[in-house]
Amino acid sequence: MTRPRDEVPVRVTASDDVLRENVHAALGRAGVPVRESADSVLLAAGPTVDDALADCPAGERAGIVVVADRLPEDGVRRAVRAGIAVLVHSAKATPVRLAAAVRSAHDGDGRLPHEALVRLLGTDRRARRKPPRLTARQLTMLRLMSDGLDNIAIARTLSCSTHTVKNVIYELMSRLQVRNRAHAVAAGVRAGLI
């Protein structure tokens, strides 16, 4: 007889007792039974992914849910390479999300927080460039462009001529290696400049 999806048992390891109690309470509110069993899902909790995994039994990596306060890119990469496909940021570990994460791990599905997934898929260390250094005036122009101001409004805001605005934007676009204003704003957001 197969167990209903809601009754997937969980065993919990945690780097400290308070964290363990918090996870137990959240699982209890979600109706997820916490008990040792042959088919239970292991939930490992800690301040970081590496801390959570440090308490896991050696060789046990598949079917684990990792709950961590911090999900640094290198820790997430190590976890994924080790076969862990379900990560939950502890700040977002509501009872409903924990129950869904346990079901995903039990079913062999993956579940990563959006921000961790974007970092993993959106960055390649070989292709990553340092953001270009912008002058204070270029950075100000970029921010004003991101607010939707046109050249005339930027000139009025900065008390300069539209000709100056055009020249600074031209230099800015050249430095960012972009084709147009929208591309410049997008590049600025990606680089963390605005």
152-187, pLDDT tens digit by residue? 999 999 999 999 999 999 999 999 988 888 889 888
Closest CA relative to residue 132, chosen from 84, 174, 76: 174
Model pLDDT, residue 142? 93
Domain ranges of the chain: 5-122, 136-190
pLDDT of residue 59: 62
pLDDT for residue 1: 36
Q: What is the CATH number of domain 5-122?
A: 3.40.50.2300
- Which of the 8 DSSP states describes residue 16? S
Q: What pairs with residue 14 in β-bridges?
A: 45
Question: How much is the pLDDT for 155?
Answer: 95
* Mean pLDDT, the chain, integer: 83
Query: Which residues, in sequence order, are bridge partners of residue 13?
Result: 44
For 42, the enclosing helix (H) or strand (E) is: strand 41-48
User: Which tens digit of pLDDT belongs to each residue from 63-97?
Assistant: 788 899 888 888 888 888 877 878 999 888 888 88
Q: Does domain 136-190 have CATH number 1.10.10.10?
A: yes
Predicted local distance difference test score (pLDDT) of residue 138: 94
pTM of the complete model:
0.57
Q: Which pLDDT score is estimated for 127?
A: 47
pLDDT of res. 160? 94
Query: Is 5-122's fold the same as 136-190's?
Result: no
| Cα–Cα distance, 95 to 52 (Å, whole number) | 19
Q: Is the pLDDT of residue 107 over 60?
A: yes
Q: In what order do the strands lie in the sheet with 86-89?
A: 10-14, 41-48, 64-70, 86-89
d(CA 117, CA 120): 5
Answer for the pair 144, 157: CB distance below 8 angstroms, yes or no. yes
pLDDT digit string, tens, across residues 119-161: 776 654 444 567 788 999 999 999 999 988 999 999 999 999 9
Above 80 in pLDDT, residue 15?
yes
Q: Give the residue, 193 or 127, on which the prediction is more confident.
A: 193
Q: How far apart are the first and last CA of the chain?
A: 56
Nearest one of 128, 141, 126, 137 to 191, comparing CA atoms? 128
